[in-house]
Homo-oligomer: A and B are copies of this chain.
């Protein structure tokens, strides 16, 4: 079986994931050869600076700063540099030679996926990217292959480990956002500049990728509504907890019908309340999980490590072995398909539920006035809790607690309504003369 000629594998990038991929390729060479049916030969590792210090001790002679030359002698190219340039150019070069490409580059797949998949299809090469979403968790392949005969209705994903770590700290330890972020940075969960994570940009790219696979539709990143966790307060977290919820930053992809009756999809990222009984609620620390609702399969969840060098390397190697097997056995692999080509709806069109926390003047008739605002906007109230100032059991006093004398707090859960109606309602409530302050507005997702 292993008399087959070796498959030449080029690695671009030797960061935390790349160095682990190289290590495993070298250490597990025999086992991998048995699985593929031919040896996997690591021909080189292209890096910017061949003398830089690496996480893993790798043979010096493998390193080169000439990525193009390395690519030209390869059967499979693994791109783990990240970013758009020069990754895009190098992947395109590899595909143009007929080489298969494995990448973990979510920014690139989200922004330029369709164009690169198209190029791969034309030359009969394979471009795989399991590691681009949810690290080690197999999610791309299950969505594309295992659910190929089903109809995905909705995906709720915790796809950013940094923000999950932060929100989990706030929930379980009562840390402030700043404190939790500081610890995340110390422990290496957050980068020096955490904007991509806490601003929701990373999750936005992943939502675009998940939606495009699940719904067979091109989903440009710009059409994914994005809100980060930067406005989340410990007060919101405590209130959520008291009401039986956990705050999670969710990437949500779903089939929706717009107000004009047009079938389409929505992809969006925002912090939302999740019922504490929901499987996503028990995803702690830096872990990721993707909850999938399909027409026939019902509810599925895929859980595991969303980041980490060696964990992500597992996903890269899975793609590598699959592409390598295909090279040994012949035949084209599975192409990407955007045959469904559904419209991507604006966030205003989607249906959701809100939990609104409102500080109001404590005087007769206030509740009726507020209730009227709800009915004016056609939004029904599902749950309502009224607390006088100072009687906030469990929840810490908010910044305006001192000025809240004569005030009361309303915690109002709505029934389902369009995002458009709900956000207009929230604005009207903030402007209403009976209201002192809107303390929190969060969507509730993952109804049980």
Q: Which residues of A contact B (CB under 8 A)?
A: 1, 20, 24, 28, 31-32, 34-35, 130, 136-138, 141-142, 145-151, 216, 279, 282, 294-305, 308, 310-311, 313-322, 325-326, 329-335, 337, 339-340
Contact = CB atoms under 8 A, between A and B. Distances in A.
B20 A322 contact: no
A151 B136 CA distance: 13
A141 to B, nearest CB: 5
A303 B331 contact: no
Contact of A299 (B305, B325, B333): B305
Mostly helix, strand, loop or mixed at chain A's interface?
mixed
A182 to B, nearest CB: 25
A316 B138 contact: no
A136 B310 contact: no
Nearest to A140: B146
A142 B142 CA distance: 7
Nearest to A320: B149
A16 to B, nearest CB: 13
A20 B295 CA distance: 12
For the complex of A and B, list the 8 residue pairs with the smallest distance between their C-beta atoms, beginning with the closest: A331-B331, A149-B317, A138-B146, A297-B314, A148-B321, A296-B314, A136-B297, A300-B304
A67 to B, nearest CB: 22
Contacts of A294: 136, 314
A311 B325 contact: no
Contacts of A326: 331
A322 B145 contact: yes
15 contacts: A31-B340, A34-B339, A138-B147, A141-B141, A141-B142, A145-B321, A145-B322, A146-B315, A148-B321, A149-B321, A296-B314, A299-B304, A301-B304, A325-B334, A330-B331
A302 B302 contact: yes
A148 B305 contact: no
A128 to B, nearest CB: 10
Nearest to A1: B339
B297 A311 contact: yes
Contacts of A216: 34-35
